[in-house]
Amino acid sequence: MSANNGTGFPDLFVGAMAESTGWGADVYPVERDAEFAANVNSTGCSHATNPIDCMRGLNITEFQSRITQDGWGPTVDGGRFLTAPVYQMFEQGRFMKIPLIIGSMFSPFLPSPIKFSQIMLAADLLLVKAQLEKQQ
């Protein structure tokens, strides 16, 4: 939504949905250099003419098993994709004005509030049974 200096890619998206959202660190490329080099080395692409193409050519399972656990995230490139930290772009209104649904859940492993109540009762936590039954 904030790509392309806040205009996004109008022909590509008509809406957005985010689950368990939060503001992560938006770093600049120089702050990703060591992480990038570690991933290029761990994927075996350090001697490739184009390391990015080499990593893109890996099977996804192979790629995921080889990369470091440092993670990936938005990078402020100052150009076409991300021109400033996302939170600043949102504060300035520089994002696509499209329908947005934001949601979160307590745990992806709990299928329903009823199941959660059953788990809490079974765990014998200090909860009043009548309160839990009332929620069902």
Mean pLDDT of 24-53: 86
Of 81, 102, 106, 95, nearest in space to 18 by CA: 102
pLDDT band at 111; cut points 50, 70, 90: low
pLDDT band at 134; cut points 50, 70, 90: low
Taking the C-alpha atoms of residue 10 and residue 52, their distance in angstroms, rounded to an integer, is 27
Within 10 angstroms of residue 134's Cβ, the number of other Cβ atoms is 9
Residue 121 is predicted with a pLDDT of 60
- Cut 0.85: pTM above it: no
Within 10 angstroms of residue 32's Cβ, the number of other Cβ atoms is 15
68, containing H or E segment: none
Whole-number CA gyration radius for the chain: 22
pLDDT at residue 123 is higher than 60: no
In the chain, where the domains are located: 4-106, 107-136
